[in-house]
Amino acid sequence: MTTTLEQLRAGQLTGSRHLKLACGLREFPREIFDLADTLEVLDLAGNALTALPDDLPRLGKLQILFASNNPFTEMPDVLGECSQLSMVGFKSNRIRKVSGRALPPQLRWLILTDNEIETLPAQIGDCSQLQKLMLAGNRLRALPDELAACSRLELLRLAANRLSGLPAWLLRLPRLAWLAYAGNPFSEALETAAMTDTPIAGIRWDELTLEQSLGEGASGVIYRAQLMGRHERVLRAVAVKLFKGAVTSDGLPDCEMAACIRGGDHANLIPVTGKVQDHPAGTHGLVMELIDPQFRNLAGPPSLESCTRDIYDAGTRFELRSVLGIAHGIAAAASHLHQRGVMHGDLYAHNILHGGEGHALLGDFGAASFYAADDPATGIALQRLEVRAYGCLLEELLDRCDELDAHAPIAAMLIELKDRCLSEDIDSRPLFDEIAARLLALKGGR
């Protein structure tokens, strides 16, 4: 069977816009330049590359470059000369140095997860288009103040670094909506307390019988399982999530488990039954209620093009009662979490399960972070940050509701609420308890 590299060298890929090569490359194949007139996406992940050619800007249409799982030790300066490059991914390399010269002028999305970076260049503040910045699993002790100039930044991942705190300007970024910072020294005590101070049952591994896998994410694998009751000796179907232990784009699996436990019981959260004990390999895990298979994700995750906004199936529409039910349920769940000092960090439709009739469950705590109850100013700032994420969700639901014209007064109130949640005047955004109360009243008024 002919490989992609062989096809490239034989001139069979002329006109290609996308190219993926994962074949142990140690050097950049010069034949890639034969595609210079058309190539937009270049995926070199999973090779043995340590450098890129100085004439890389010859790929004049290149917009996206992936180079994850290579042994790069620094982000190549030549990237800064690529005029159309907007997305750069160097996850799981050995990068220690990021030069200001390496930042492309049109950069929207930068992925540097799981490297060895200790500092970011001040020039990051010149990236006026930056929307998404993935820095989990590095050695950062501080963020450059110049990052405050990135007013378009919407999603920031800082988990599993060495930060001693969050700078005040960070929580004033007008569009920041999705933030994760667990696994840093300043939040370690809160994460430990979430695990030790929150009552939860221990479930021995020998009480569980795993069945089929229900799904796999970056942080772990979820299985259908049977739980043998200790007293009644009756089998009960449950879901078991076994965590992988490695850093993900969002953060550390242990922090995710702590947030699930700290989240406690709520009608719009997936119930946690207990914590796995005595796993033969020492693997951490949670036992959760098995969700009815009729529940489906509201949407899919963002695409390369949409960057920070979810992708819905074509033709997805919601009745007004479903919009009100989903919107109220998720606001109530978020309010509950923030009352317990937990910020979800990834409040997105793709992390919401919908069972019809407006019943929704908020899941996936992989990006969750903790804050202290005795620091109300920080708590309110973090809540208003997450309210903007909620505003994006509400906007997406309203955009897909056909009944707004027939219910103009309710529609007007929902649109006004959405606009307040999305406001770049951060202090004018409502908090989740107000949002939930408003929506409950609207539900009752129908």
* Helix, strand and coil in the chain, % to nearest 5: 35, 20, 50
Q: Is 275 annotated as ligand-binding?
A: no
Tell which residue, 379, 362, 384, has the closest CA to residue 434.
Answer: 384
pLDDT of residue 231: 64
**H or E, element range at 258:** helix 253-263
Residue 241 CB partners (closer than 8 Å, separation 6+)? 220, 221, 222, 223, 285, 286, 288
For residue 319, give both structure tokens: 């009745």
Q: How many Å apart are CA 80 and CA 101, to the nearest integer?
A: 5
- Report CA-CA distances (Å) from 8 to 4, 14, 15: 6, 8, 11
Q: How many Å apart are CA 361 and CA 82, to the nearest integer?
A: 43
**Tens of pLDDT, residue by residue, the chain (446 residues):** 679 999 999 999 999 999 999 999 999 999 999 999 999 999 999 999 999 999 999 999 999 999 999 999 999 999 999 999 999 999 999 999 999 999 999 999 999 999 999 999 999 999 999 999 999 999 999 999 999 999 999 999 999 999 999 999 999 999 999 999 999 999 999 999 988 888 889 999 999 999 999 988 888 899 999 998 776 677 899 999 998 877 888 888 889 999 999 999 999 999 999 999 999 999 999 999 999 999 999 999 999 899 999 999 999 999 999 999 999 999 999 999 999 999 999 999 999 999 988 899 999 999 999 999 888 999 999 999 999 999 999 999 999 999 999 999 999 999 999 999 999 999 999 999 999 999 999 987 65
User: Burial letters for 103-141: b for 16+ Cβ neighbours within 10 Å, e otherwise?
Assistant: bbeebbbbbbbbbebeebbebbbebeebbbbbbbbbebe
How many CB atoms sit inside 10 A of residue 424's CB?
A: 11
How many CB atoms sit inside 10 A of residue 149's CB?
A: 17
The total number of residues written for the chain in this structure: 446
Edge-to-edge strands, sheet with 208-216: 201-204, 272-277, 285-289, 235-243, 220-228, 208-216
- Torsion sign (Cα): 220, 221, 224, 229: negative
Tell which residue, 108, 118, 117, 71, has the closest CA to residue 88.
Answer: 108
pLDDT of residue 232: 65
Q: How many Å apart are CA 261 and CA 286, to the nearest integer?
A: 9
Q: Which residues pair with 155 in a beta bridge?
A: 132, 178
Q: Which amino acid is at 102?
A: A
Tell which residue, 99, 94, 95, has the closest CA to residue 79.
Answer: 99
pLDDT of residue 195: 85
Q: How many Å apart are CA 115 and CA 161, to the nearest integer?
A: 10
For residue 260, give both structure tokens: 């699930």
Give 323: exposed, middle or buried? Use CB within 10 Å, 0-12, 13-18, 19+: buried
Cα-only R_g, the chain: 23
Tell me the DSSP string of 57-98. GG-TT--EEE--SS--SB--GGGGG-TT--EEE-TTS---B-
Domains and CATH numbers, the chain: 4-153 (3.80.10.10), 190-289 (3.30.200.20), 296-444 (1.10.510.10)
> What's the half-sphere exposure (Cβ side, CA atoms, 13 Å) at 38?
9
N-terminal to C-terminal alpha carbon distance within the chain: 62
Alpha helices in 291-364 (DSSP H): 320-339
